[in-house]
Structure 1
């Protein structure tokens, strides 16, 4: 059976202990590891690993000892309680062995949790779990986390009260950070709010969120987006003196203008969802530029990025400065 979207999120938080197994796969190893950790903890509890109710097997070991998987599933634990066998880094090479183990599984055996990287639609391992009547397959993709996923992360970290503005900021932050960094940020916020009964506010999130780029980089990008051409040169000199990379600057600029383009194109229900103390400034930028001009800006930045990464001998910082000045003049 297949788990998708909210259905998968709910199952990860409260898996069925009577099921045979679960396959979690995806290109992002961190996303897979976090969901695997959540499922295992929900099945066997926090004391499960210490009570030896968790058995971890690298899938590569099944090449030498195929019987090890079924032995682990049917073994009798020393401590009472549900057990989990975690098979890591599996692939289609292990489909036959896993299929045999699933076929011989009986109620009372350990539940099998399998992790894998990106699997194609033709993957035999993926098809095995999708077709099994008592097992699930869940694919994790690079989509931004849903509101329900963010709320589940907050709840797991002990945060319950949160106002609407803070939730909007966390949603924007979750799109900018990888899953591991986002969870660490939420845990840091939860520690900060420990013993404080007041709702989590937008100011709390802004004070504790990691900076995605340095303040000087932020300044030069806003100068370009606001059309303040004369400020770009001095800011670039400061960045160059600090050893900033032109490629890093270009990546930051592309991220900034993509966010503006998404807002101008009506992303988020027509309401721009920016994060941080400059969100109102970015909303004004998106309205000033418009979708067509922002598409031109992204094309210019893409061309600059390709030039920076090519074998061109042109001074890279000068190329980046020229691109930012052209951006500042573009809306005119």
Structure 2
């Protein structure tokens, strides 16, 4: 089964333990690792490692010793509870070993969670999971997390009262930070607000957000041009915190609106106008 869109985040937050296998793959190793950790935690809990209910193995070794995966999946644990076998950095060469584990899987066996880098459409590993009747495929893209996912992270950190304005600020942060840094920021906010029942504020988020965020000046100008009033305040605060001079803002705005005017007024069409604009719109 191939998950798409919002299904991916929802499933990885609460994976089905009755399914034998889960493939998580993507270009960004950090995003894949975060999703793998989330899915494994949901399947076996926080104490699985110390209770020996979690087994890890490199996917690269399965070609040489395919039986180790089947043995780990069928192994009876010393401690009661669900079990997971994580196969990391898995190449296509490991497909046969994983197929054998999925085909012989029975209820009560460990769930097989496989991670991999970018996989092409012709990947044997992808084909195995996508065509399997019970296994699940979760491709991880480089898009920032959606609002539902950020809201779930906030709730997990104990933040239940998040007004609309604060959520807008969090979504802006999600576009400025990579997922790992964003998750750490959410956890930091949760610790800061521990025992405080008042709603989360924009000021508290700004106080705890990483000081090294590089607000995109172009994003601020685009927000102004598109009349996205709700985004202007938070973006302007970040630009101000970076010490960007007012004249720099004015020059950026002038260039942007001059390019728009040239594109709208050129009789040869906007594409021709933007192609010959100076400084270049599309890079050197």
TM-score normalised by L of structure 2: 0.83
CA distance in 1 between counterparts of 2:92 and 2:176 reads: 33
CA distance 1:132–1:70, change in 2 (3 Å): same
Which whole-Å CA distance do the structure 1 matches of 2:129 and 2:258 have between them?
43
Number of the residue aligned with 2:237: 278
Cα distance change of structure 1 residues 175 and 61 upon mapping to structure 2, 3 Å threshold: same
CA distances 1:166-200 after superposition (whole Å, capped 9, x unpaired):
10011001101001000111111111111110000
Call closer, same or farther: CA 1:277–1:197 in 2, change over 3 Å. Answer: farther
Taking structure 1 as reference, are residues 202 and 51 closer, same or farther at Cα in structure 2, changes over 3 Å only?
same
Q: CA deviation at 1:145?
A: 1.2
The one of 257, 261, 265 equivalent to 2:222 is 261
**CA shift for structure 1 position 68:** 0.5
Q: 1:22 to 1:271 in 2, by over 3 A?
A: farther
Q: Calculate the aligned-residue CA RMSD, in Å.
A: 2.8
> Cα deviations across residues 181-239 of structure 1 (Å, max 9, x unaligned)?
001111111111111100001111111111345xxxxxxxxxxxxxxxxxxxxxxxxxx
Q: Which residue of 1 aligns with 2:268?
A: none
Equivalent residue number for residue 111 of structure 1: 111
In structure 2, what is the equivalent of residue 11 of structure 1? 11
CA deviation map 1:305-324 (0-9, x unaligned): xxxxxxxxxxxxxxxxxxxx
- Which whole-Å deviations, capped at 9, do the CAs of 1:226-283 have from their partners, x for residues lacking one? xxxxxxxxxxxxxxxxxxxxxxxxxx69x321453366357xxx5563535537999x
Q: For 1:162, what is the secondary structure of its paired residue?
A: coil
| Runs of 4+ residues deviating >6 angstroms | 279-282, 284-288
- Alpha-carbon contact 2:53-2:81 (below 8 Å) kept: yes
Shift of 1:64: 2.1
Partner Cα distance (2:278, 2:208) in 1:
31
Shift of 1:118: 0.9
Take 1:144 and 1:199, find their aligned partners in 2: how far apart are those partners?
24
Give SS of 1:257's match. Answer: helix
- Tell me the secondary structure at the aligned position of residue 62 of structure 2: helix
Partner of 1:142 in structure 2?
A: 142
TM-score (ref. length: structure 1)? 0.71
Q: Deviations over 1:114-159 (max 9, x none)?
A: 0111111221111111111111001111112110011111122221
Q: Which residue of 1 aligns with 2:58?
A: 58
Cα drift, residue 300 of structure 1: 5.6
- What secondary structure, in the 3-state scheme, does the structure 2 residue paired with 1:302 have? coil
| Structure 2 partner of 1:80 | 80
User: 2:153 and 2:258 mapped to 1: Cα distance?
Assistant: 34
- Whole-angstrom distance in 2 between the partners of 1:42 and 1:291: 52
TM alignment of 1:120-131, pairs within 5 A = 120-131=120-131
Where does 1:298-317 land on structure 2 (aligned, <5 Å)?
Answer: 299=280, 302-303=283-284
Q: What is the alpha-carbon distance in structure 2 between the residues aligned to residue 291 and residue 37 of structure 1?
A: 48
- Aligned residue for 2:23, secondary structure, equals strand
Instruction: Specify whether residues 141 and 262 from structure 1 end up closer, same or farther in structure 2 by C-alpha distance, changes over 3 A only.
Output: farther
Unaligned runs of 5+ in 1: 214-251, 304-332
In structure 2, do the counterparts of structure 1 residues 69 and 3 end up closer, same or farther at CA, with 3 Å as the change threshold? same
